[in-house]
Structure formats: C-alpha cells, structure tokens
Amino acid sequence: MVEVGGIRLRNPVLLAPMEDVTALPMRRIAKQIANPGLMFTEFVSAMAIHYKAAKTYKKLRVHPEERPLGIQIFGGVPEIMAETARIAESFGPEIIDINMGCWVPKVCKTGSGAALLKDPDRAAEIVAAVVNAVKIPVTVKVRAGWDYSLFAAPDLARRFQDAGAQMITLHARFAKQGFEGEADWNLIREMRDAVRVPLIGNGDVKEPADAIRMLQETGADGVMVGRAAISNPWRLRDIVRAVEAFQSGQPWTNELSVPTMRERIETALEHIRLMIAYEAGVDTYAEADGDKDAEGRACRALRGQIPIYIKGEPGAGAVRGRLTLCSTFGEYEDVLMEFASSVSAG
C-alpha cells in the first residue's frame, strides 16, 4: 500500500500531470471510469498565481469526487513557490507536487521545471520552502537529470527527502531528451535505494503488462501513466485493475478493453459538457446555462483530445479534420453522431 505522508492510496496507479489535458473535466472522467490511486492537476505557474492570473487560478479548483488529488506547481523562486503552495492548499487538495521535469524552454529559462535539476541547492531550497509553507504532504516529480552526463535524480531525491518531500516520481528520461527515445527503466531501479519515501516510476507505461513489468523490474512502489490515458480512461482502468490484481496475488491479464462506439462517444460528449461547465466556473453543464463564451473556449481547448476518443475506428481519420474545427457542443455532437451512424451502417 503506497502511503504518502499519511495518505493511503487505494492503488499504486497515478494519473500523470499533463498540461491542457488533466484539467478538472478529464480528471472527473478518469475518476469515474478508472479510479486511479492518485491524480494530479496540470502544472500551475507560481508566477502566474503571484500575479493573480484568473486563467491560472481556475486550474486550482478541486472537485470533491476526485480525491485524492495533487496540485502540481512550478517555479524557480522559493518564496513565490511557498506563497503559491499556500494558496493551492487553500483549494483543498491532498498533496502539493513540485514540477522538476518540464524541459520546454519557456519554463526552463525562468529557472523552473527541469532547469532545477542543474541547480541542486536551489531545488532543495524550493522543496524546503514549500514543505514549510503547507500542512499537507509535498511530493516532487523529476526527470533523471539535465543531460546524459549526470544522473542527478538520486542525489536530488535524497536531498528532497531530507527537506521533507514525501514521495518522488521519476520520469525516466533526461530533460534534453524531451520525449525522444524510450524511457530507461534501469534508472528507476538504480534510484530505488536512494530514498525511503515512495518512489513512483514513470515513462512509457502503455498497457497493463508494462505497469506490472515496471513494478517487478524496478522495485518502484507505483506507476504513473500519462499519454496512454489521454482520451482513453478505459486503458487507465485496464492498468488499475491489472495492478490491483497483481498486488493482491490474483491472476491479471493484459487484455485491453474495447469500449463500444456508444461508450466512447458518450464519454467524449460528457467530457465536452464538463469542460463547458469548468470554463463557466460551475460544476455541471446545466449550471453553465448556455454560456456561449465558456462553450467556445471549452470546445477549442478540446480540439486535440476529442478526435482521440474515436482513434483507431475505421473512418475516424476522415472526420478528424472536422472535429478539430468544432466550436460548439452541437457541432461536436453532430459530427460524432454522424460518424457513429456511418460506422454502424457500414
């Protein structure tokens, strides 16, 4: 059983923080269908919170159904990170997570994200400042190091643990790699003994067998799943179920659920409805009450994700272009329903 500073996770499968993906609506769907042990918000800029950007504040919203939840924050200035952690805590998450994995230049050039892997003193100072600022557990998500010349994560993780971090997640790639190549799970195994707190492995877990193999080969306490869960809560559920079975000594299977077309389309439409509610600052679509601005923002924000719900179905490629132009719920509904009936007719 993974325990993070006294919070017991019902299973050791974690939904990864993903910018523009793991917003509240996606998490509510992932929770209902897959029920992972812990989920995270997308990363939240400490600087943007400091300057009171409304768009960023919205990312801090927590829904009672999605617990336990970690809010992930990023920044390079200890005092501002501490201030943001306090504000984030007031929104009621179970955990504050610190991002030290984001490799994109706009983040790293501010000394945040993976840039901290090159500055261990500042990184440890940030962890200590955040731990001291809040009452809830603080965790850190790192990459292996900046580039191949230094596997920095084990030493950093030890320092973070000394500063009070209660869990470390390792995305087993170096920052310079971006998403290239395969994640090197040996790095997770090599890091295992560096820390006493739970160690979560991350990188390229795509199906149940990957998750079990990661647990077996690396000694990690849990696995974090990112891309495989995008618009595919069923895959996340397959992984959760297999890991639960594996851990309780039951037989597990690598069989992948095949949701029906109806399930996929209903879930995609529900995702859009929840996104409209989210953009309108309310909990349900009904409460959004035809807020056209919210609807437009929500529909545009999901243009990358909705097509993935039907990916792989014959003919899905042909409607992809139309889905990426939808600006209203009705437009999405028309394209998806038309697609469903063309598939069932074919």
Ligand X SMILES: Cc1cc2nc3c(=O)[nH]c(=O)nc-3n(C[C@H](O)[C@H](O)[C@H](O)COP(=O)(O)O)c2cc1C
- Report the alpha-carbon distance of residue 204 to residue 227 in Å, rounded: 8
CB of 211 to ligand X, least distance (A): 10
Query: Which one of 4, 18, 114, 239 is in contact with ligand X (CB under 6 A)?
Result: 18
- Report the alpha-carbon distance of residue 266 to residue 103 in Å, rounded: 35
Mask 201-240, x = binds ligand X (CB under 6 A)? Answer: -xxxx-------------------xxxx------------
Mask 164-183, x = binds ligand X (CB under 6 A)? Answer: -------x------------
- Asked if 28 and 36 touch (Cβ cutoff 8 Å), the reply is no
Mask 122-161, x = binds ligand X (CB under 6 A)? Answer: -------------------x--------------------
DSSP result, 11-54:
SSEEEPP-TTTSSHHHHHHHHHHT--SEEEPPPEEHHHHHTT-H
In the bound state with ligand X, the residue whose beta carbon lies nearer, of 175 and 335, is 175
In the bound state with ligand X, the residue whose beta carbon lies nearer, of 82 and 98, is 98
In the bound state with ligand X, the residue whose beta carbon lies nearer, of 93 and 288, is 93
Query: Which one of 24, 25, 37, 43 is in contact with ligand X (CB under 6 A)?
Result: 43
CA-wise closest residue to 97 among 152, 42, 155: 42
Phi, psi of 334 (to 5 degrees): -60, -50
Q: Which residues contact 262 (CB under 8 A, 6 or more apart)?
A: 340
Task: At 133, list the tokens.
Answer: 């600022």
Write down how long the chain is.
346
Told to judge if 102 belongs to the known catalytic residues of this protein, a careful annotator would answer yes
Q: Which residue is nearest to ligand X (CB)?
A: 226
In the bound state with ligand X, the residue whose beta carbon lies nearer, of 80 and 200, is 200
Selected range binding ligand X among 12-20, 187-195, 254-262, 279-287, rule: CB under 6 A? 12-20
CA-wise closest residue to 298 among 328, 319, 318, 275: 275
- Asked if 31 and 161 touch (Cβ cutoff 8 Å), the reply is no
CB of 182 to ligand X, least distance (A): 9
Question: Under rule CB under 6 A, which residues in 66-95 are in contact with ligand X?
Answer: 72
List the catalytic residues: 102
Q: Point out which residues bind ligand X (CB under 6 A).
A: 16-19, 21, 42-43, 72, 99, 101-102, 141, 171, 202-205, 225-228
